[in-house]
């Protein structure tokens, strides 16, 4: 009976209707041209931030018509890309593991709006949209998914190992929670270099119970590292609901001595405001935890139908009430920043771009078999790295 009550409460929280945010500074009576106007406007987040050991940021978020249109365009691209990946997997053009991000796009979009490419991001295996947010191309995505040479990891990494070092993206990682201490290592390097940048180490609610999270967080707090730990709480670690896996599912409080903030992860503007706040905090005071309350529409991976441990009504309810793409669509139309036709035209263009990228990816050659033996060891770290008697290990600097 206790489990039943907990499950009901969890479903009710997921399906709670939320407003799409509303204007707090009046728009101009003149119709703004779509996507080009940079006149500042202020939108209030759909729900308040909930904080732990810190004062929450203001709910009023400054944006522009141009940024809102870019949010819609980028999220529509991510959504279409993931739906296409689903079809390619079922057609057996994508093999191995594949974890889709549709439903969680506002996290990737809002985070990018608050930071620069000099800030680092490291995440788990649900990484396609984070890569695109960092500036990755659709061709690089689909080629990598299909194991082709034009992929972002030359076709050798697949779905779980996207990478773009020049844009501060240090990859998707297949071992649950393993990216968190690596992210704290990136933050250590940033503090050592005094470059005034931060690292976002992202993980899911399933990984929130991993011991390495708490070990890494302890060191980050001891050394005041500019690390922002982002828990993308989509409420189901694989097929296990959060209330069945965690005694304390308030993940933003799990750091205890580290400040935390719970954010509506389906509201791109709320994510933007939270990430801006977190970056400022981390540079001055050290680590902070962000819990993004979000939701995935697909199952955990392509082998999971996603409907055995939750109801179809729950999924459709979230789509109707909280969908991040529809939220921005409604906001743009209510503020008369874009018409329904203009937004549909954007979606048509996105579909065309995705189809063209898939066609290009299919033409990309497979990696040469000799590639199996490359990128295994770093050059210069062989026997010459050791002392003459191979007992003394010397530090090898680049």
- Indicate the number of domains in the chain: 1
Which pLDDT band holds residue 394 (cuts at 50, 70, 90)? very low
How confident is the model at residue 33, as a pLDDT?
A: 59
Q: Which helix (H) or strand (E) holds 190?
A: helix 179-193
Say how far apart CA 215 and CA 267 lie, in whole Å.
31
Range in 44-53, 165-174, 328-337, 387-396 the model is least confident about: 387-396
Q: pLDDT per residue over 161-214, tens digit each?
A: 999 999 999 999 999 999 999 999 999 999 999 999 999 999 999 999 999 999
Question: What is the C-alpha to C-alpha distance for residues 278 and 198, in angstroms, rounded to an integer?
Answer: 9
List 236's β-bridge partners, or say none.
241
The confidence band for 94, taking pLDDT boundaries of 50, 70 and 90, is very high
Q: pLDDT, tens digit, for every residue of 283-307?
A: 999 999 999 999 999 999 999 999 9
Q: In whole angstroms, what is the distance from residue 97 CA to residue 114 CA?
A: 31
Please indicate, yes or no, if residue 171 is contained in any of the structural domains: yes
Residue 248's pLDDT is 92
Q: In angstroms, rounded to a whole number, what is the distance separating the alpha carbons of residues 190 and 211? A: 24
In a domain, 106, yes or no: yes
39 pLDDT more than 90: yes
Q: Is the pLDDT of residue 228 over 90?
A: yes
pLDDT at 377: 83
CATH number assigned to the domain comprising residue 261: 3.40.50.970
With respect to residue 396, please indicate whether it lies within any of the assigned structural domains: no
pLDDT for position 133: 98
Burial class (CB in 10 A: 0-12, 13-18, 19+), 81: buried
* Alpha helices (H) along 2-122: 2-15, 65-90, 105-114
Residue 387 has a pLDDT of 47
Question: According to the model, what pLDDT value does residue 373 have?
Answer: 87
Residue 334 lies in a domain: yes
For residue 141, is it within any domain? yes
- Res. 386 pLDDT band, cuts 50 70 90: very low
Q: Higher model confidence: residue 181 or residue 15?
A: 181
| pLDDT band, residue 392 (cuts 50/70/90) | very low
User: Cβ(375)–Cβ(156) under 8 Å?
Assistant: yes
Q: How confident is the model at residue 17 (pLDDT cuts 50, 70, 90)?
A: very low
| Span 324-376, pLDDT tens digits | 999 999 999 999 999 999 999 999 999 999 999 999 999 999 999 998 888 88
User: Which domain does 21 fall in, by range?
Assistant: 2-385
Identify the CA nearest to 226 among candidates 189, 274, 252: 189
Structural domain includes residue 390: no
d(CA 37, CA 350): 21
Specify if 101 maps to a domain.
Answer: yes
Q: Tell me the pLDDT band of 125, cut-offs 50, 70 and 90.
A: very high
| 392 inside domain | no
């Amino acid at each position: 009976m206790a489990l039943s009550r907990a499950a009901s409460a969890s479903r009710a929280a997921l399906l709670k209707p939320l407003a799409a945010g509303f204007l707090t500074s009046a728009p101009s009576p003149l119709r703004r041209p779509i996507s080009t106007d940079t006149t500042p406007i202020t939108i209030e987040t759909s729900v308040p931030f909930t904080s732990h050991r810190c004062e929450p940021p203001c709910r009023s978020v400054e944006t522009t018509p141009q940024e809102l249109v870019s949010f819609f365009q980028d999220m529509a691209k991510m959504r279409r890309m993931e739906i296409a990946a689903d079809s390619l997997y079922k057609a057996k053009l994508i093999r191995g593991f594949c974890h889709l991000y549709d439903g969680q796009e506002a996290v990737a979009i809002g985070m990018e709006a608050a930071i620069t490419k000099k800030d680092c991001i490291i995440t788990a295996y649900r990484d396609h949209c984070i890569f695109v947010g960092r500036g990755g191309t659709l061709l690089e995505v689909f080629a990598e998914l299909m194991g082709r040479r034009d992929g972002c990891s030359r076709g050798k990494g697949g779905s779980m190992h996207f990478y773009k070092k020049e844009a501060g993206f240090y990859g998707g990682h297949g071992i649950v929670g393993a990216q968190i201490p690596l992210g704290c290592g990136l933050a250590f390097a940033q503090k050592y270099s005094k470059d005034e940048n931060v690292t976002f180490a992202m993980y899911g609610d399933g990984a929130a119970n991993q011991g390495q999270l708490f070990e890494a967080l302890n060191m980050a707090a001891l050394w005041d590292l500019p690390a922002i730990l982002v828990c993308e709480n989509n409420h189901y670690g694989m097929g296990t609901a959060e209330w069945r896996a965690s005694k304390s599912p308030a993940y933003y409080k799990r750091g205890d001595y580290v400040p935390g903030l719970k954010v509506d992860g389906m509201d791109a503007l709320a994510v933007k405001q939270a990430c801006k706040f977190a970056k400022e905090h981390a540079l001055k005071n050290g680590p902070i935890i962000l819990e993004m309350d979000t939701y995935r529409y697909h199952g955990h991976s392509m082998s999971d139908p996603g409907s055995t441990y939750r109801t179809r009504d729950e999924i459709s309810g979230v789509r109707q009430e909280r969908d991040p793409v529809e939220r921005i669509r409604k906001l743009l139309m209510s503020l008369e920043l874009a018409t329904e036709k203009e937004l549909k035209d954007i979606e048509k263009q996105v579909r065309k771009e995705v189809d063209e990228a898939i066609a290009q990816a299919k033409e990309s050659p497979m990696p040469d078999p000799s590639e199996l033996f490359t990128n295994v060891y770093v050059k210069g770290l062989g026997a010459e790295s050791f002392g003459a008697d191979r007992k003394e290990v010397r530090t090898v600097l680049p």
